[in-house]
């Protein structure tokens, strides 16, 4: 073999190494906790975290303190991995896509966007439509497929494998009011540590076991589903009732008592409701 032949072999060997590296990345792509970042206009990043397919118990046990009677426990299987926003959608992200900031507490930047209706998000020409067009035109992941999470996807992601009232425990040493509570204070923006009663910067509390921020508190988050009673039987990829009058919001808000921020708590709003405490988190099925 001459010098050229040896050089070609080296190139081939390097190619095999590159291929091996590619395979390794692909293998990692199926694991939980993987993050992707897409870029919005103006170089505004948006980060999503991979949540694994699997089965979990949705709702709360009958003995959970201060539960609602619409939280009937049932088994849910999600058959596909999905991504969900690491943070609530921020005012900078909304402005990058829509060109304006509708928030009542309009600090801008990485504050959670609010005063957005379910219709603003999902209608033709709304946030999701424009976001998906941007991702398509820039050939980024999620193009044409970014959406709100289903209620089941939201709760599985929020629980992060836990069965307690919050993803950081039951916190039975505190009551469910706005009284100070050292345990809650590290994990969520609720009335007990947010005296002005307004949303804060996203990501300023501890994350849940999936690395998601502010699933408890800060702003309520619209999900895809119409509100309706749960079935007590096992469900696969549930999407809620096929019709209804109210949509579901999840996770509590910066001026709510602690129990509204529980993993199983279900809030209800008409899809045209615009208030200073309701925003959103994105989802995508790869």
Contact 219, 278 (CB under 8 A): yes
Output 240 or 251, the one with its CB closest to Ca ion.
Answer: 251
Neighbours of 192 (CB within 10 A): 23
Secondary structure letter of residue 222 according to DSSP: E
Contact 51, 84 (CB under 8 A): yes
Which residue of this chain has its Cβ atom nearest to Ca ion in the complex? Answer: 251
Residue in the structure block whose two tokens are 């950081």: 168
Binding residues for Ca ion restricted to 155-194, rule: CB under 5 A:
none
Q: Tell me whether residue 135 or residue 212 sits nearer to Ca ion (CB atom).
A: 212
Query: Smallest distance, Å, CB 235 to Ca ion?
Result: 24
Radius of gyration of the chain (CA): 21
Report the nearest approach of Ca ion to the CB of residue 88 (Å).
5
Residue 63 CB, nearest approach to Ca ion (Å): 25
User: What minimum distance in Å lies between the beta carbon of 281 and Ca ion?
Assistant: 7
Fill in the per-residue mask, 214 to 253: x = in contact with Ca ion (CB under 5 A), - = not in contact.
Answer: x---x--------------------------------x--
- Dmax over Cα atoms in the chain, in whole Å? 80
The residue range among 6-14, 22-30, 207-215, 268-276 that interacts with Ca ion, by the rule CB under 5 A, is 207-215
Nearer to Ca ion, 135 or 282 (CB): 282
> Which residue(s) pair with 54 in the sheet?
78
Shortest CB 23 distance to Ca ion, Å:
37
8-state DSSP, 142: T
Among all chains, which residue has been given the structure tokens 């426990």? 73
Which CB, 93 or 218, lies closer to Ca ion? 218
CA distance from start to end of the chain? 47
Looking at residues 99 to 158 of the shown chain, list those that interact with Ca ion (rule: CB under 5 A).
none
What's the token pair of residue 30?
A: 């199926």
Distance from chain centroid for Cα 22? 28
Binding site for Ca ion (CB under 5 A): 214, 218, 251
């Amino acid at each position: 073999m001459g010098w050229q032949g040896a050089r070609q072999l080296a190139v081939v060997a390097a190619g095999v190494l590159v291929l091996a590296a590619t395979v390794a990345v692909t293998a990692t792509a199926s694991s939980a906790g993987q993050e992707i970042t897409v870029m919005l206009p103006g170089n505004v990043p948006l980060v999503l975290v991979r949540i694994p397919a699997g089965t979990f118990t949705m709702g709360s046990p009958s003995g959970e303190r201060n539960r609602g009677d619409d939280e009937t426990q049932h088994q849910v299987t999600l058959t596909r991995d999905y991504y969900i926003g690491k943070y609530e959608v921020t005012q900078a992200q909304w402005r990058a896509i829509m060109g304006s900031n509708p928030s009542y507490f309009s600090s801008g930047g990485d504050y959670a966007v609010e005063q957005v209706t379910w219709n603003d998000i999902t209608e033709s020409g709304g946030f999701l439509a424009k976001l998906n067009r941007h991702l398509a035109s820039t050939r980024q992941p999620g193009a044409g497929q970014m959406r709100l999470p289903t209620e089941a996807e939201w709760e599985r992601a929020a629980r992060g494998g836990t069965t307690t009232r919050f993803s950081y425990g039951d916190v039975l040493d505190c009551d469910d009011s706005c009284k100070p509570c050292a345990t809650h204070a590290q994990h969520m923006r609720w009335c007990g540590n947010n005296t002005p009663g307004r949303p804060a910067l996203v990501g300023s509390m501890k994350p849940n076991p999936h690395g998601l921020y502010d699933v408890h508190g800060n702003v309520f988050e619209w999900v895809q589903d119409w509100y309706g009673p749960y079935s007590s039987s096992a469900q696969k990829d549930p999407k809620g009732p096929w019709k209804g009058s109210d949509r579901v919001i999840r996770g509590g808000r910066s001026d709510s008592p602690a129990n509204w921020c529980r993993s199983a708590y279900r809030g209800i709003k008409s899809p045209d409701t615009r208030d200073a405490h309701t925003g959103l988190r994105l989802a995508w099925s790869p």
